[in-house]
Amino acid sequence: MPRRKKVVLVTGASGEMGHGLIQRLSQRTHFDILALDIKSLDERLAGICHDQIVGDVLDPRLLERLVSEFEIHAVFHLAALLSTRSEFTPETAHEVNVRGTLNLLKLAVEQSRWHGRQVLFLFPSSIAVYGLPDFETKSSAGAVKEDEFNVPTTMYGCNKLYAEHLGRYYAEHYRQLAVEQKKGIDFRCLRFPGIISAFTVPHGGTSDYGPEMLHAAAQGEAYDCFVRPDARIPFMAMPDAIEALLRLMEAPADHLTRHVYNVTSFSPTAQDFADRVRTAFAGAHISFVPDAKRQAIIDTWPAELDDSAARRDWGFSPSLDFDGSFDDYLVPNIRERYGLKR
């Protein structure tokens, strides 16, 4: 039988998180990286990957071809349509976010059976899985735990919550009526808050106002913030988000008490964000022009997350708080990126 190459598969590799992940992952795994995205990778990232495939997670032939050529030991399934974009095309979002995830879970469970080791499946979920019923509840809820308020109002939130359940099913109950009971996959999931990167600007999310106002200010552009000054959701800086994924990947299975973990770092209001951006970029022109409908989505997401399970089980501890994110990571790198003096 021809030998297949042993790889870690990263879907959505060209996206925001893929950019940050691939480099750090290459230093942390002995497997080669196989990147999959509908867009080709930039040259620097392509150079780090063993191989890149330009294609769609919805294409079953492509996935079959992958399996014939590669022995997949871990999957980082990052490909998704974010919350705002999903509201414009809910059925397409369902295809990508649910059908795409199902395709990858099936591939992972089949691979586990081929090579006899459970495939590790890392899945980024989101604060969008929460749906707080009204503003009063949001204000009084405090730090929300994983099993509270799981009543999302967005297509993206519904998709992510269901995909979490699919992951649990493929890990624990897949084909439970079969005569021969075999272990499924090793499904591990993080519920991320809004993420801010110095190197990329997100597209199609509802937490985008934070990174958008920062990158606009650095380029000397005026920015109309689409939420109210008092809008508050949790955020974290991209390096901490990547480190959380890698830490969870490396955590011994017997330390984990759940499949899905909250992670967070800081919870500023949009006004706090704007003030901090103005301190970093004097003269930044930020106005608040709330869009009632996008604000309504933010109002259903928690202001704070309880990440005590992640801290307890696998030592999650973000290294960048609000000030640290700006001073040590965002501002210096963004200044360099846009060619500004330090």
Residue nearest to ligand AKB as judged by C-beta position:
205
Under 8 Å between Cβ of 45 and 22: yes
Tokens of 26: 């290459």
128 binds ligand AKB (CB under 6 A): yes
Q: How far apart are CA 144 and CA 321, in angstroms?
A: 19
- Given the complex with ligand AKB, which of 37 and 212 has the nearer CB atom? 212
Half-sphere exposure of 22 (CA within 13 A, CB side): 30
Q: Which of residues 194-233 bind ligand AKB (CB under 6 A)?
A: 194, 205-207
Q: Choosing from 156, 209, 261, 329, which is the catalytic residue?
A: 156
**Segment interacting with ligand AKB, rule: CB under 6 A, options 61-69, 125-133, 244-252, 268-276:** 125-133
174 binds ligand AKB (CB under 6 A): no
Active-site annotation holds for 130? no
* Strand, coil or helix: 334: helix
242 binds ligand AKB (CB under 6 A): no
10 binds ligand AKB (CB under 6 A): no
Half-sphere exposure of 77 (CA within 13 A, CB side): 33
- Given the complex with ligand AKB, which of 69 and 95 has the nearer CB atom? 95
One of 52, 83, 118, 153 touching ligand AKB (CB under 6 A): 83
Q: How far apart are CA 116 and CA 134, in angstroms?
A: 48
Interface residues with ligand AKB (CB under 6 A) are 82-83, 126-128, 156, 194, 205-207
Residues that are catalytic: 156
